[in-house]
Structure 1
């Protein structure tokens, strides 16, 4: 038996994971979305669990199905809504649908039966039966029944072709189209769960079948009303919110540009579908709307899109529901919000944001009073729910040594852990904060995860892990990048926040703007110098690794220093002139770099200077950093560094069916097995052990 789950990769991937939290209207119950490993260890099944929100009692499982459940939210009456592909009759679509679990007890029942399924639960009214879902519909269909017929024809003919007339054509890890995203309104009071309604539906289906027509949409379910007809990509929204009475929907909808889009803030009358544009400004994105509990105030995030000369910025604004009286809140708060909700009395907004390597909860008063940081610990918080009945908040929190778990936060900032079906796994590693000064005097900080037993007598080898983004911070747990796995194998892991990182203000982001290979690189080297000077770190045994932007930096490091014994580069940017037009968001890329900045900071120019063995990792379904980056990197490494027999000191781990992230549990195991074998080979001089399942 392993001493901890981090000593054995199979034990690690089997750990249950809390992924989301929703708080009931009365503040008494928190529903957790929990992922657990399937029996065949090739995926995760998700279920909903209920825990008391006051810190008493234990967890209780609410749902159980082979298809799993996710996207939980509460209705005004305390029922639980969720999305699941669990079956609903013999002829039901296989796609995920919206389901409702009654607060009074009983079985969950379906709310939708859309041929293409429900993509997500977009918004729920706080004081009515109005719900908005996001769903993809084929553009040629005029009714839900027509849509079902068209989908069946494509499936029967095995047609997968997609015709585009606008950019983009794919996003992160999936192709866009042929269906377009729509926002559909549902009235849950029309949910007819009676025997008579079910009999009527069956009779209607039988009658339609005899006429060889499409199956009618069930009359026992509330018929979805399309609030975004002929949307193209406009309903791929940046957040949505309903007024408490469900009468008005606010959404950050997309306005098309020649090579992309920007977000505008619109108000849609749910009854009529009439739309009013509240905010639409060149060079600005509007999104993440939230409505006050009294239905009087709208809050949103206004994002300046920036340019190659200056970073973009994000600010919190409020206005009346008609858009009048718009003003910025917390103008001196130099942070980017990651979540916004109104406080219980509507006099302030509750926000989360990156802050100095952490992710605290903040209170942003609407009257101009100073911003108050509610939590003051080493954690990052998310999924904050406001307890209007008793005060305080419920949220998830995590750090680099504690996986996400639910907590209650009192108004004074005191934090109480709640029950969870996924306990935080134990570790013997220690989390230490480290910092240094860059050459210009800027403070550079990070976290250092130290393995058990690291001291002056037995110093630990160091892994420099560079975060992705690049606009991010090493402040919250990640199941994909788990430093505790390396610590369990004796490595110390440095998690630094160099220039471009969030949580330190706009000027810190600007340090590496249009020059990724400048301050971000020197910041990384400066903090690495400070850490290897410690007596519990072995300065002669170091390696570097990173993914996405971290992969870019790993490539840049490889071409500009030979101080490391090994470098791992995952999903990495290599040739920026090639990357720009082929990524799924080329407009953003072209906006944040000048041609000169892109050319002078492309790692591929230094391929001949690479002296350190590299492990290149890439997934073929990665659309953010396309596979061409990894293929070109490998080709050019071979051009410059292969011997006469074509063999390289480098290795290439290729995943034909993974994307930007390696998400399948079995592939996660192979990823870590290969990474640790490569590091052990070059850091410790051990023989490379090829993972068995690589053949």
Structure 2
């Protein structure tokens, strides 16, 4: 059976955001594919049901069932910003419900099905007007300069004719996705309304009457709220006790927030680009939620009678969305063989499950391609700390070969032993005799909060040996050739690539992507610069900056960076490029036009293909001696 090639990018289909029909008979979901012509990512709404082939419903994303299951609301961008559309499931054409000048957000049905709420942009974004900033949050990666546009809560009638959406909030803040109260009288949302919310990173829970009125604040500085859901009569909030901390679950009432005890020292994952998870929800009389465990994202349930949470979907899998309705549970999970499939299972019980329950409704694994599977391995760092990683290689090959260390972003993210549709070069390199080592060092997610915060204020200083020791172990095992080592990574991984290539001369090639090179300049130019300087890297940012050691770099370096990156601004790449070129270190900088920080996940297919191709070519040129 043939091995994967980079052209398989255009055959990978990734499901997400599963939504169970209220009667439990089917699951609507978003399916994302990459198109070579035109050069774009295509999002479509599909429907899967037991015993039937999945079928396409419409172009769009964020499907949401009406309470009676007869209508599907979703987002569609038809030559402009995304708008909410309604698709009658008994036949008929979809109807656009909104025509907001700046677009709408994901639809949220009222309990009686007569209204839809959403969080959407509001303001007048004149591209030629001067940009005036009084706060640090005047730009955001992926959106660029916000120009006074803020996100607010809207409600619109859900009939075919729709109507003008009513804005329920106003002011210089961003409101999170709303949640309806069971009686349909109020909406809950998160927002940072404090004047200095950009400095203290505050975010609280508010409610507002659906008929209009002043928002009421329910939580204070005891936590940073990141999401809120009305589950039955309980208002459940995901929040953090501080800027660098695990996300936990709380219930909120008139007296404030009370933490829900899960018995887990794990980070609750509600789902975000690059950070898979699922919104908390009721599964019968149990509370279902997602949390990260040893790099994977699993589903857990809190028993109805109280006690520790029980794992109800586990194994070598990453869950990226779940939905409960009609006595069944649907979820999307990626595995070592698939970038994602939709599964359907019964409601969870109090019996722990170490695998993926239920049955797959889809089969999106690449047909006719044999994949290498990562092997989980625990290493011991120099100070005795156990650190976990994954070794991807052709196990039939003997003797030492070239090795690539690939560092994940975050740093509070994690590699998982599942098929990775973004880093296709892993599979191609393994087929060419390489060993790919992916490590979850200190600060990675899924190993407890102490491990999660262990590198705060000590980037590079606390985590350096978590990479070098495992490389030495692979060399001692006869797997890795000490003369053919290379390092790459993206975001924090790009930071660590620069750091390691400056601190040691062991690498024959270095490929930083979306990198952080100088924390001093980063603090004033990134959309999260203040957060990084004050909380994540609090302390001596000069000592933690790769640029402090740039004069020691000798490895030929390929710098890959998005031109519209506001998270790790392109000036970070320019500084590194300039310093290496001045010293005649072989260096090449590649800038991707209009590409934001997450372009390697959701950018133009041509850019993502080029990113993979360039990594392989650079390694062949400088490590294995093949022509560039």
What's the TM-score once normalised by structure 2's chain length? 0.90
Deviation per CA, 1:498-550: give whole Å up to 9, x if none: 00001101111232121011231111112222233334444432211001100
Which residue in 1 is equivalent to 2:471? 528
Which residue in 1 is equivalent to 2:322? 384
Q: How far apart in 1 are the matches of 2:180 and 2:562? A: 39
Deviation per CA, 1:608-649: give whole Å up to 9, x if none: 11121111111210000011111111111122x21xxxxx41
Q: How do 1:255-654 residues align onto structure 2 when only pairs under 5 Å count?
A: 255-258=193-196, 259-260=198-199, 261-281=201-221, 284-292=223-231, 294=232, 296-306=233-243, 311-320=244-253, 323-324=254-255, 326-330=257-261, 332-339=263-270, 340-346=279-285, 348-365=286-303, 367-387=305-325, 389-391=326-328, 393-399=329-335, 401-410=337-346, 411=348, 413=353, 415-420=357-362, 422-425=364-367, 426-451=369-394, 454-457=396-399, 459-475=400-416, 478-482=420-424, 483-592=426-535, 596-639=539-582, 641-642=583-584, 648-654=585-591
Q: Which runs of 5+ in 1 are unaligned?
A: 88-93, 140-150, 194-219, 643-647, 689-695
Which residue in 2 is equivalent to 1:24? 21
- CA 1:531/1:246 → structure 2, altered by over 3 Å: closer, same or farther? farther
Q: What is the DSSP-based 3-state SS (H/G/I as helix, E as strand, rest coil) of the residue aligned with 2:330?
A: strand
538-547 vs 465-474, which deviates more?
A: 538-547
Which residue in 2 is equivalent to 1:62? 57
Displacement after TM superposition at 1:345 (Å): 2.8
Displacement after TM superposition at 1:596 (Å): 4.1
RMSD: 2.4
- Given candidates 615, 621, 624, the residue that maps to 1:681 is 621
244-253 vs 613-622, which deviates more?
A: 244-253
Q: How far apart in 2 are the matches of 1:637 and 1:181? A: 42
Displacement after TM superposition at 1:24 (Å): 1.4
- CA 1:404/1:613 → structure 2, altered by over 3 Å: closer, same or farther? same
Q: What is the DSSP-based 3-state SS (H/G/I as helix, E as strand, rest coil) of the residue aligned with 2:207?
A: strand
Q: How far apart in 1 are the matches of 2:595 and 2:569? A: 12
Give the conservation status (yes or no) of the 8 Å contact 1:454–1:536: no
Give the conservation status (yes or no) of the 8 Å contact 2:238–2:248: yes
- CA 1:222/1:653 → structure 2, altered by over 3 Å: closer, same or farther? same
- Given candidates 152, 164, 185, the residue that maps to 2:155 is 185
Q: What is the DSSP-based 3-state SS (H/G/I as helix, E as strand, rest coil) of the residue aligned with 1:353?
A: strand
Q: How far apart in 1 are the matches of 2:536 and 2:434? A: 36
Give the conservation status (yes or no) of the 8 Å contact 2:103–2:121: yes
Displacement after TM superposition at 1:249 (Å): 0.8
Give the conservation status (yes or no) of the 8 Å contact 1:455–1:537: no
Displacement after TM superposition at 1:305 (Å): 1.9
Q: How do 1:189-208 residues align onto structure 2 when only pairs under 5 Å count?
A: 191=159, 193=160
Q: How far apart in 2 are the matches of 1:20 and 1:301? A: 18
Q: How far apart in 1 are the matches of 2:391 and 2:261? A: 32
Give the conservation status (yes or no) of the 8 Å contact 1:290–1:300: yes
Give the conservation status (yes or no) of the 8 Å contact 1:77–1:103: no
Give the conservation status (yes or no) of the 8 Å contact 2:9–2:34: no
Is 1:35–2:32 an aligned residue pair? yes
- Given candidates 138, 146, 155, the residue that maps to 1:169 is 138
Q: How far apart in 2 are the matches of 1:473 and 1:36? A: 24
Which residue in 2 is equivalent to 1:128? 113
Displacement after TM superposition at 1:460 (Å): 3.9
Q: Which runs of 5+ in 2 are unaligned?
A: 271-278
Which residue in 2 is equivalent to 1:90? none
Is 1:243–2:229 an aligned residue pair? no
Which of the pair has more CA radius of gyration?
1
Which residue in 2 is equivalent to 1:199? none
- CA 1:165/1:518 → structure 2, altered by over 3 Å: closer, same or farther? closer
- CA 1:38/1:436 → structure 2, altered by over 3 Å: closer, same or farther? closer
Give the conservation status (yes or no) of the 8 Å contact 2:47–2:56: yes
Q: How far apart in 1 are the matches of 2:191 and 2:538? A: 30
What's the TM-score once normalised by structure 1's chain length? 0.82
Give the conservation status (yes or no) of the 8 Å contact 1:467–1:474: yes
Give the conservation status (yes or no) of the 8 Å contact 2:17–2:322: no
Give the conservation status (yes or no) of the 8 Å contact 2:339–2:364: no
- CA 1:400/1:625 → structure 2, altered by over 3 Å: closer, same or farther? farther
- Given candidates 36, 47, 52, the residue that maps to 1:50 is 47
Displacement after TM superposition at 1:432 (Å): 0.8
Q: How far apart in 1 are the matches of 2:65 and 2:454? A: 43
Q: How far apart in 1 are the matches of 2:88 and 2:268? A: 34
Q: How far apart in 2 are the matches of 1:473 and 1:343? A: 27
Give the conservation status (yes or no) of the 8 Å contact 1:431–1:448: yes
Q: How far apart in 2 are the matches of 1:83 and 1:594? A: 38
Which residue in 1 is equivalent to 2:77? 85
Displacement after TM superposition at 1:367 (Å): 4.7
Which residue in 2 is equivalent to 1:198? none
438-447 vs 159-168, which deviates more?
A: 159-168
Q: How far apart in 2 are the matches of 1:514 and 1:270? A: 44
Displacement after TM superposition at 1:313 (Å): 3.5
Is 1:106–2:70 an aligned residue pair? no
